[in-house]
Amino acid sequence: MEALQSLSYGFSIAFQPENLFFCFVGSLLGTLIGVLPGIGPVGAIAILLPVTFKIPATGAIIMLAGLYYGAMYGGSTTSVLVNIPGEAASVITCLDGHKMALQGRAGPALGIAAFGSFIAGTLGIIGLMFFAKPLSSFALEFGPHEYCSLIILGLTLVTYLSHGSILKSIMMACFGIMLSIVGLDPMTATPRMTFGFLELFEGIGIAPVAMGLFGVGEVLFNLERKYSGEVVRTKIKNLFPSALDWAASKWALARGTVVGFLLGILPGGGPVLAAFFAYGLEKRVSKEPQKFGTGAIEGVAGPESANNSAASSSFIPLLTLGIPPNPSLAILFGAFLIHGITPGPLLLKQNPDVFWGVLSSMYVGNMMLLVLNLPLIPMWVQVLKVPGRYLYPIILMFCLIGAYSINNNVFDVFVMIIFGVAGYVFMKFKYEGAPLILAFVLGPMLDMNLRQALLVSDGKFVDFFTHPISAVTLALAFLLLASSLFPFVMNKLRSLRSGVKE
């Protein structure tokens, strides 16, 4: 009952005209970003972050949240029509979605993706509504040992789940922690690696780093290539799935929602992992697994519902624990701080208008996205045809303006450009920026909590294992690291055994 009362309070905030407007703008821009290959939700949130400085905090977070889950909706459009995922979580939708489009079934593919996203996203928000308060109360029991262990688990998970080399991902996470140290020490006010720059006393800003790595870096990377996606030419009709389509996909939707919700909560999880996991699960439980990859509607319904459910549930650790579980929400975490709000267990108490306002706006945003996605598909198809030579300069312009507007200081522009070059080089040398940005955001919390924990426990590391929550969290982190090394060890043993036999 209390949750429903709080929700109605949230709706009173979400339905304020200005917040409705921000929700609409965020959802629309998010869908547009999701449709356009090249710039993902991380880059979009980073690029638009400075735009939110001039608007009230609640409206800013509503807009950025709308952008995040809007991108999940939009990504499926390009996956189905062009076989190029608009963002990482839509990669798996290409497999069956585009095949359906080639068979003249683009409409049902897009329709089931949109409806599945709406249903899963709404159920995810309901889960968020009921889990948030108990989790916040539980999180009040957290001390420096628990926070430290949770951050370590988060960093371990994100490197474990990266797409490329685990070694390079761990290195990026380490580098992110090192970068986060720049600035005044919060305990002693000693300048750390500021090199005499006054602008670095508050540390390197999250916005220029994120805009550089994911905005400028992506554009530089794409400038080398010729955009070669071919939009499916068949007429898109029958966006409403038939009764047979619903019958075929209902269990995929249900499973995708649950899987996505659970994986979204985990640090390092999120929509990308949820989508891949859901596809694998559908293929495994299907009576006809051979039809996956040839245009199976379950291959669209499962991943799309999973990624939207995860997009909703990933707000749980952010809002209740103050731990962003993935890179997109790491930047959203930065947005909270910039607006003077600290996400975490006290958010519900200190800023209930922000918490319930954002949550309620997600319901509204989901409705808007369903309405936007279906009728506006022909418009998104036209947007896809805008050549890169017009689009990329505009994106760079937004980045340059955004970086300058943070502090009206050209120093931030230089920082963004440097990280843009770094992001481009990282991509060429197969390093991922996601572990870096997550570690960069979590680094200051890790520094503070680690030192406090050691001071409180007189330097005894064993105290991390005598606190139950900390012990369980560290054990999980250790198990994950060990399991990632397991295949390597087994291969080594096999090659040694075959060497001995010879």
Partner 1 sequence: MNRHDFLSGLFWLGISIFAITKSLGLGVGVFTNPKPGFLLFWSSLFFGILSIILVAKSTLGRSGRTKLTDSWEGLNWWNPVITIVLLFLYASFLNSIGFLLAMLGFMALLYSLGRVKPQLSIGGAIVTVVLAYVIFHFALQVRFPRGIFSW
Of 102 and 400, which has the nearer Cβ to partner 1?
A: 400
- Least Å distance, CB 224 to partner 1, is 4
- Least Å distance, CB 288 to partner 1, is 38
Of 144 and 343, which has the nearer Cβ to partner 1?
A: 144
* Rounded alpha-carbon distances, angstroms, from residue 240 to 236, 353, 433: 11, 37, 38
- Least Å distance, CB 78 to partner 1, is 21
State the helix-helix crossing angle for 106-139 and 57-82, rounded to 10 degrees. Answer: 150
- Return the residue matching tokens 């750390």: 192
Taking the C-alpha atoms of residue 478 and residue 278, their distance in angstroms, rounded to an integer, is 25
Pairing of strands 191-192, 183-184: antiparallel
DSSP string for 228-250: ------S-----SPPHHHHHHHH
**CB-based contact 219:51 (threshold 8 Å):** no
Of 374 and 391, which has the nearer Cβ to partner 1?
A: 391
Of 193 and 479, which has the nearer Cβ to partner 1?
A: 193
- Return the residue matching tokens 């050209």: 410
- Least Å distance, CB 326 to partner 1, is 21
**CB-based contact 323:317 (threshold 8 Å):** yes
Taking the C-alpha atoms of residue 400 and residue 212, their distance in angstroms, rounded to an integer, is 10
Of 33 and 445, which has the nearer Cβ to partner 1?
A: 445
Of 461 and 478, which has the nearer Cβ to partner 1?
A: 461
- Return the residue matching tokens 């735009």: 51
- Least Å distance, CB 129 to partner 1, is 33
State the helix-helix crossing angle for 166-180 and 433-456, rounded to 10 degrees. Answer: 60
- Least Å distance, CB 216 to partner 1, is 7
- Least Å distance, CB 502 to partner 1, is 21
Residue-wise over 277-289: b if at least 16 C-beta within 10 A, else e?
Answer: bbbebbbeebeee
Binding site for partner 1 (CB under 8 A): 51, 54, 165, 167-168, 170-171, 174-175, 177-178, 181, 185, 187-188, 190, 192-193, 216, 219-221, 223-226, 387-390, 392-394, 396-398, 400-401, 404-405, 408, 410, 413-414, 417, 420-421, 424, 428-431, 443, 446-447, 450-451, 454-455, 458-461
Of 91 and 403, which has the nearer Cβ to partner 1?
A: 403
Of 210 and 252, which has the nearer Cβ to partner 1?
A: 210
Locate 477 and state its tokens.
């982190």
Of 113 and 445, which has the nearer Cβ to partner 1?
A: 445
- Least Å distance, CB 213 to partner 1, is 14
Of 57 and 258, which has the nearer Cβ to partner 1?
A: 57
Locate 398 and state its tokens.
């937004």
- Least Å distance, CB 273 to partner 1, is 24
What is the signed CA dihedral for 361, 363, 369, 371, rounded to 10 degrees?
-120
- Least Å distance, CB 187 to partner 1, is 7
Taking the C-alpha atoms of residue 172 and residue 213, their distance in angstroms, rounded to an integer, is 12
**Pick from 105, 79, 444, 480: nearest CA to 297:** 105
**CB-based contact 82:377 (threshold 8 Å):** no
* Rounded alpha-carbon distances, angstroms, from residue 6 to 131, 140, 312: 13, 20, 18
